[in-house]
Amino acid sequence: MNKLGLPEDQIARARNLAVRIIKPVMDFIDGHTTVAVERASLRLAGADGADSDGVPVPNIVVDQLKDRLEGGALRWYINALLRTGLTPDGLNAQIADGLKIKDFPLSDPQAVETKAAQITAQYLARIETNRLHRETKLEQFKDKNHSPLLYVIVATGNIYEDIKQARAAAEQGADVIAVIRTTAQSLLDYVPYGATTQGFGGTYATQENFRIMRVALDEVSEARQRYIYLTNYASGLCMPEIAAMGALERLDMMLNDSMYGILFRDINMYRTFVDQKFSRMINAFAGIIINTGEDNYLTTSDAVEKAHTVLASQFLNERFALEAGLSPKQMGLGHAFEMDPEIENGFLLELAQAQMAREIFPQAPLKYMPPTKFMTGDIFKGIAQNTLFNFVSKFTNQGIHLLGMLTEAIHTPHMQDRALALDNAKYVMNNMADLGDEIIFKPDGVIIRRTHHVLSETLDFMESIARTGLMECMEQGAFADIKRPRDMGKGLDGLVKKGDDYWNPIEAELKIRLGGA
């Protein structure tokens, strides 16, 4: 329902500007690879495991081939499978023991391509099976599905303790469990191996941890006859690898923004832009919903004055996602309930922003974030703020609702905090289930005037980006008031210009299956 009367020509103009803005970036992306893209591709061809020092096999291979990556790492890995006659597991064990696959002479190119096609089909079939399982279960449990999905986090540092808290949250009514990563894992240029029991502010994202949590949540899903979504973070220096591992272990959502790592983790923008496309191609094929990070802008910028930067980023994230083959139904575009609660009519402004996002991106399962910036530790005021947030989310039909905690700003939530938050959200949303369909807005009222103003500001902002260039604007601090030089930041040394002989059969097959992304 179009309640705001937003001009369709202005929305179309913004989308056209997004195409113009990202075109030079896409040209750059298509001419480059990274160490993380190569490691992700290796993982999707079976490379796994670690040596006695804990160095992952994909890192060992890429380090061996560091002077040959312009041609792609998979040629050498597939060639080693042919030369040794080993399975991927057998080859991985030998690589972990010191085998130098770069020393093997290259086999006949046709034989390498044939072997690559076989390996690619095997691992992509596993991902397709995961996607089909998810779709089957969602259809089976459709009577229990509702909107928005109630999303909570677990963050003990110990995957086995996370499981206890995740089970409890799911049984109390949570639809989505996000396992928060240990502090600063986004800055590690490798993915730890195996199950982990020590982390700080979260738990290491590893493929084994993904598998363990998936099994646990599937058990709850069957017991409760309600599909429980599992979420982690395809971001940071291993963005594509974590997407690959999530696809292999049937994660359902991934935080996967096109610019977050640049702005908030000081990861080099060239590296991030290349990594985000490949990671999103994997997520697109796996049927994984991405969550973008526009809510973070409002932690460093004012939510009233800089609302247009959030909308502009949503348009850009949408365009980058489409270029990677994601459908709108997989785009959990982000925003947040982050205005100063002392502002007069702040609730109306929050409602306006949420309704505007809903109408501009009608198919997207929008990810709505709770108040955090202005949570003080007063739990009673916090409950009131979260209640208003819950109201706006249901009224505007958000897709993914990250629950606010009464103890925000005090500590990582305990199980009882989540239980209270779930009770609050379910109470509010049940009691106003159809309210959004009952109310229209005054044509000259605060809500409609605000949304038209923000859309107009967004167009002006995007026009300036189109004139100047996205990378240049990020250098100038256009988003989140944070400046990031393009030739600095973590991970720049992992950027590689593709050679004329670059070959990546995983990427090529994904492009075919995604319709040319």
Q: Does 26 fall in a domain?
A: no
Exactly one of 367, 373, 394, 490 is catalytic; name it.
367
Q: Does 484 fall in a domain?
A: no
Quote the pLDDT of residue 298: 83
Exactly one of 193, 229, 233, 260 is catalytic; name it.
260
Q: Does 293 fall in a domain?
A: yes
Quote the pLDDT of residue 297: 86
Q: In sequence order, what DSSP letters do the residues of 157-221 get, joined into one string? A: S-HHHHHHHHHHHHHTT-SEEEEPPPTTGGG-SS---S-----SSS----HHHHHHHHHHHHHHH
Q: Is residue 260 flagged as an active site residue? A: yes
Clarify whether residues 407 and 498 are in a common domain: no
Domain CATH for 181: 3.20.20.440
Quote the pLDDT of residue 2: 87
Clarify whether residues 328 and 410 are in a common domain: yes
Q: Does 5 fall in a domain?
A: no
Clarify whether residues 61 and 157 are in a common domain: no
Clarify whether residues 264 and 369 are in a common domain: yes
Clarify whether residues 118 and 152 are in a common domain: no
Distance between first and last Cα of the chain: 31
Q: Is residue 204 flagged as an active site residue? A: no
Stated pTM of the model: 0.96
Residue 216 C-beta-side C-alpha neighbours within 13 Å? 22
Quote the pLDDT of residue 517: 65
Q: Does 17 fall in a domain?
A: no
Exactly one of 175, 252, 275, 295 is catalytic; name it.
295
Q: Is residue 381 flagged as an active site residue? A: no
Clarify whether residues 247 and 378 are in a common domain: yes
Q: Does 68 fall in a domain?
A: yes
Clarify whether residues 238 and 356 are in a common domain: yes
Clarify whether residues 283 and 362 are in a common domain: yes
- Domain total for the chain? 2
Q: Does 64 fall in a domain?
A: yes
Quote the pLDDT of residue 413: 85
Clarify whether residues 189 and 97 are in a common domain: no
Clarify whether residues 210 and 153 are in a common domain: yes
Q: Does 167 fall in a domain?
A: yes
Quote the pLDDT of residue 411: 84
- Domain carrying residue 506: 32-122+494-513
In which residue ranges of the chain is pLDDT below 50? none
**Euclidean distance between CA atoms 427 and 390, whole angstroms:** 9
Q: What is the pLDDT of residues 73-125, one digit of tens each?
A: 999 999 999 999 999 999 999 999 999 999 999 999 999 999 999 999 999 99
Clarify whether residues 250 and 175 are in a common domain: yes
Phi, psi of 198 (to 5 degrees): -130, 125
Clarify whether residues 109 and 226 are in a common domain: no
Quote the pLDDT of residue 506: 97
